[in-house]
Amino acid sequence: MARKSVALTGDYAVAEAMRQIDPDVVAVYPITPQTLIVEKFGEFVADGIVHTEFVPVESEHSALSACCGASAAGARTMTCTSSQGLALMHEILYIAAGNRHPIVMIDVNRALSAPINIHGDHSDTMGSRDAGWIHLYCFNGQEAYDSTIIATRIAENSSVYLPVLVGLDAFNISHNTERIELLDDQEVKDFVGEFNPPYSLLDLKYPVSVGAYFLPDYYMEARRNLQETIQNSKKVIVEIHEEYNKKFGRNVPAIMETYKIEDAEYAILAMSSITGVAMLAADELRAKGIKAGVIRLRLFRPFPAEELYEAISNLKGLAVVERADAYGASCGPLFSELSGACANKKKMPLMANYIIGLGGRDVKIKNMISVFEDIVDNVEKGEVKSLRQYVDVKG
């Protein structure tokens, strides 16, 4: 089937995917740099192109609350947010996951205030990483488009039935125009299929309770069930990605993308758009005889501990580079996750943590080269001189 390639920003690519999915309910509150998604999808609603019940609300807290109600009633439900908007949703994130609402949320990753900043880093979603949602992070606009479609299938799978968050970098992806290959409308509709929820609050023949009160004798079992479900969802996530790639000739990684890692001695582990810069830096180091590679982590929740360990176990040194920090902790959230996952492994590379690109600071090739050079130096000296370093800071 002939497909159309168009020039779109990442936000507009997401809006196109939402148009093709045609969800039953979208409840949103606009916030920079997610607003373009809301505006474009709102045009589709106003023009009658989709049949979605579009719910404009007075806050992000209300947006996700409305989504939970719609999902409990059996509606295919989506929303979008960024930064403080996600922070305002924080209370409801746990409710969406705990009540097993298969909501798809697009988060345009933006720095948290204060100080006020509208540019990109991962502090917003890292602050919500333990709420029980599946987390996917995108490399570019094309992947943002594909991920929106894939996330719908993952969330609604009968073995998963959990909310899914799709993260794309503010401005680097959300506002940059790229060539996006769109699937045919019917292809998307056939792939996501009809939503047939197992229960609905509106089904009077089969009444159910949602958000029931659990006393201490059963609350722990409910939370354990949530943990086991999200952990076991990895198999479904991989299967749905494989189906999507095979059906549409795509190459969207389910868990991670590796670059020149097969014979690498040193590597950078990072997420989202900055990994492209890391790949260019690896090329420059390769030209100098240093065996450098890159691992781009796409699936953050559930955390793919086994796959990551397999990718890093033969390295001499690993630089974990992240666009978020964990204030008061000894390292950033990604480094902490990886360290915990590999705590009892016998064969591990020397690792160090690098905080980069906060608040939209440009991440340049020279910055990534300096990271590579630092981890090489650490390995040669046999110790990490500083576990957490801030890259390209003034003063």
CA distance 75 to 155: 13
Q: Percentage of the chain with pLDDT > 70?
A: 99
Output the 3-class SS for the chain. Answer: CCCEEEEEEHHHHHHHHHHHHCCCEEEECCCCCCHHHHHHHHHHHHCCCCCCEEEECCCHHHHHHHHHHHHHCCCCEEEEECHHHHHHCHHHHHHHHHCCCCCEEEEEECCCCCCCCCCCCCHHHHCCCCCCCEEEECCCHHHHHHHHHHHHHHHHCCCCCCCEEEEEECCCCCCCEEEEEECCHHHHHHHHCCCCCCCCCCCCCCCCCCCCCCCHHHHHHHHHHHHHHHHHHHHHHHHHHHHHHHHHCCCCCCCEEEECCCCCCEEEEEECCHHHHHHHHHHHHHHCCCCEEEEEECEEECCCHHHHHHHHCCCCEEEEEECCCCCCCCCCHHHHHHHHHCCCCCCCCEEEEEECCHHHCCCCHHHHHHHHHHHHHHHHHCCCCCCEEECCCCC
Q: What pLDDT, on the 0 to 100 scale, is given for residue 339?
A: 96
Average pLDDT rounded to a whole number, residues 35-52: 98
Average pLDDT rounded to a whole number, residues 117-128: 98
Report yes or no: 188 and 20 within 8 Å, Cβ to Cβ. Answer: yes
Q: Could you read off the pLDDT of 217-234 as tens digits, one per residue?
A: 999 999 999 999 999 999
Q: What pLDDT, on the 0 to 100 scale, is given for residue 187?
A: 97
| Domain architecture of the chain: domains with CATH | 5-248 (3.40.50.970), 257-390 (3.40.50.920)
**Confidence band (pLDDT; 50, 70, 90) for 394?**
confident
Provide the mean pLDDT of the chain. Answer: 97
**Confidence band (pLDDT; 50, 70, 90) for 1?**
low
**Confidence band (pLDDT; 50, 70, 90) for 2?**
low
Average pLDDT rounded to a whole number, residues 51-80: 98
β-pairing, 134-137 with 77-81? Answer: unpaired
Q: What pLDDT, on the 0 to 100 scale, is given for residue 246?
A: 98
pTM above 0.95, yes or no: yes
Q: What pLDDT, on the 0 to 100 scale, is given for residue 259?
A: 98
